[in-house]
Structure 1
Amino acid sequence: MKYEVITSPFYCTVLQRAFVTGEIVELENTDRADILASVGFLKPVVEKKKAIRKKVNKNV
């Protein structure tokens, strides 16, 4: 799942990763990510599905 870092830069010892404010990160450890989100360090990013355009033949 993707998260946006919303606080000042910090380092997570469990994930062994540094986070920078405004960065979009994808984390596989959802338990730890949920903890960081509940504390206010991360905000879940809602992913939108891309629309698929179809080419329409107007010569019919």
Structure 2
Amino acid sequence: RLEGDADRVLRSAMSKLFREEADVRELIKLKAIYELLESVTDRCEDVANHIEGIILENS
């Protein structure tokens, strides 16, 4: 659920960024940061899934 929330926030932020940011260099930097944050949330979801699997396997 949280990863889905993060995806929605990312889409909203990207949309706002491309609508409102006039400085191309700033746009490129912020876009890269947003994409890294998305990658982090995806990895966190992967870790949570692994932990859940370990807990279920050992219970």
TM-score higher than 0.5: no
From the CA coordinates, give the structure whose radius of gyration is larger: 1
Q: Give 1 or 2: higher strand fraction.
A: 1
- Give the helix-richer structure, 1 or 2: 2
**Shorter-normalised TM range:** under 0.3
In the superposition, the TM-score normalised over structure 2's length comes to: 0.26
* TM-score, scaled relative to structure 1: 0.25
